[in-house]
A = this chain, B = another copy of it.
């Protein structure tokens, strides 16, 4: 096996929703209520919904086109972005250039857990727009290239019955996963431990879908020092996946739903051997807590493995201990267009890391696509031949794709001249 023979399925990337996303998905009576992109006096594009500027979904969320010196939390304009951020056809070209067969895309403007809609005032309108987001994301974005995108949706967190209803609606249209909040209690919602979310979890199980918990949403679970620099968020966000796992495992959400599947998106894998050592020792050592009964005779690490898919962008130490994690719960991700992405050298980057860890060919296939496809019960080869799905085959389609990083101003000039990213 060579680098070119790898097949890459990434279970964590992001779309920057395009300004016209609501065009086809909202009944006429709501047309003037949709979230809109407004360019302000400083040339900055902002999403506005129900009278509030909800986000400037750029800066750190869409750095893929820029040199590192231009990264930061500074907002920007659509025309400054690499078009693959918001245009699905350009996205597929960028995936080809990076040899990536398929991708699951998390929302930006809408929020990983539909935050924009959860926090708005008029819930009737919010529900319309949340559903329209899902219809756009699943039917229009993912639907344009069925071999290339694993459909992902969001649910209204403000009403558990509506959340259940939306899970079923999405399940019927082929959605494979729900993006939710890793530690709901830090955003003022009931925790996973409370049981409040159980009807929704049951619906997800009934639809054979996966609960995807992306890092970042629960960052406030850490009470950081007031002086903490931006490094804290970037470095520690992965550490929170252990807290999320702990909530689910000892909560006991996972034990209550034997068929629930949870993806810890961007959580990394290197923390897992340490966590397993700790929870299995805890199980044996703290016998007075009687977890032998709670876990049905299984070790906590076994229950974790029954339910959870972990994923990583770069994780050399974790790969060395892959046997202690479990080879069938490790998946790869690309994280386009965020700062952590390895685009456009993901194949080179990942191949070296997998080789450095002495992974066998079979292990590479498990990690780079098989685990993801099995876990999300999603088969790209219904739509594309396997020979056309490899890094080598996809890159052959993308010889004309320019992957050069360029300053924002240069993007703005080029894109605006071509009518791209113009409101």
Contact A191 B225 (CB under 8 A): yes
- From B70, B223, B282, A221 is in contact (CB under 8 Å) with B223
Interface check A71, CB cutoff 8 A: yes
Given contacts A71-B286, A222-B222, 17 further A-B contacts (CB under 8 A): A68-B287, A68-B288, A69-B287, A191-B226, A193-B225, A223-B223, A228-B247, A232-B246, A235-B275, A236-B246, A238-B274, A238-B278, A268-B274, A270-B273, A271-B271, A276-B317, A320-B321
Q: Which residues of chain B are within 8 angstroms of A281 by Cβ–Cβ distance?
A: 314
What 1/0 flags go to A255-294 for Cβ under 8 Å of B?
0000000000000101101111111011001111101000
A96 → chain B closest CB, angstroms = 24
A402 → chain B closest CB, angstroms = 22
What 1/0 flags go to A311-332 for Cβ under 8 Å of B?
0001111101100100000000
Distance A183 CA – B224 CA, assembled complex (angstroms): 9
Q: Given A235-B278, A282-B234, check contact A222 B243 (CB 8 Å).
A: yes
Q: Which residues of chain B are within 8 angstroms of A228 by Cβ–Cβ distance?
A: 191, 193, 247, 250
| CB-defined A-B contacts under 8 Å, sample of 18 | A68-B286, A71-B288, A185-B223, A192-B225, A194-B227, A221-B223, A221-B224, A222-B243, A229-B250, A231-B289, A234-B282, A235-B275, A239-B242, A268-B274, A268-B278, A271-B271, A277-B318, A317-B321
Contact A282 B72 (CB under 8 A): no
Q: Which residue of B lies closest to A273 (CB)?
A: B317
Interface check A28, CB cutoff 8 A: no
Interface check A415, CB cutoff 8 A: no
Distance A315 CA – B271 CA, assembled complex (angstroms): 12
Q: Given A192-B225, A225-B193, check contact A277 B282 (CB 8 Å).
A: no
Q: Given A225-B193, A273-B270, check contact A286 B234 (CB 8 Å).
A: yes
Q: Which residues of chain B are within 8 angstroms of A68 by Cβ–Cβ distance?
A: 285-288
- Copies of this chain present: 2
Distance A194 CA – B224 CA, assembled complex (angstroms): 12
Summarize A's interface: helix, strand, loop or mixed: helix
Interface check A416, CB cutoff 8 A: no
Task: Rank and list the top 6 A-B pairs by shortest CB-CB distance, nearest first.
Answer: A270-B274, A191-B225, A273-B317, A193-B227, A68-B287, A231-B250
A406 → chain B closest CB, angstroms = 16
A310 → chain B closest CB, angstroms = 12
Q: Which residue of B lies closest to A186 (CB)?
A: B223
Q: Which residues of chain B are within 8 angstroms of A316 by Cβ–Cβ distance?
A: 277
Contact A282 B321 (CB under 8 A): no
Distance A186 CA – B225 CA, assembled complex (angstroms): 8
Interface check A340, CB cutoff 8 A: yes
Interface check A55, CB cutoff 8 A: no
Q: Which residues of chain B are within 8 angstroms of A221 by Cβ–Cβ distance?
A: 222-224
Q: Given A235-B246, A270-B274, A271-B274, check contact A339 B225 (CB 8 Å).
A: no
What 1/0 flags go to A178-200 for Cβ under 8 Å of B?
00000101100001111000000
Interface check A417, CB cutoff 8 A: no
Q: Which residues of chain B are within 8 angstroms of A274 by Cβ–Cβ distance?
A: 238, 268, 270-271, 274, 315, 317-318
Distance A177 CA – B156 CA, assembled complex (angstroms): 53
Q: Which residue of B lies closest to A342 (CB)?
A: B285
Distance A175 CA – B79 CA, assembled complex (angstroms): 63
Q: Which residues of chain B are within 8 angstroms of A288 by Cβ–Cβ distance?
A: 68-72
Contact B273 A231 (CB under 8 A): no
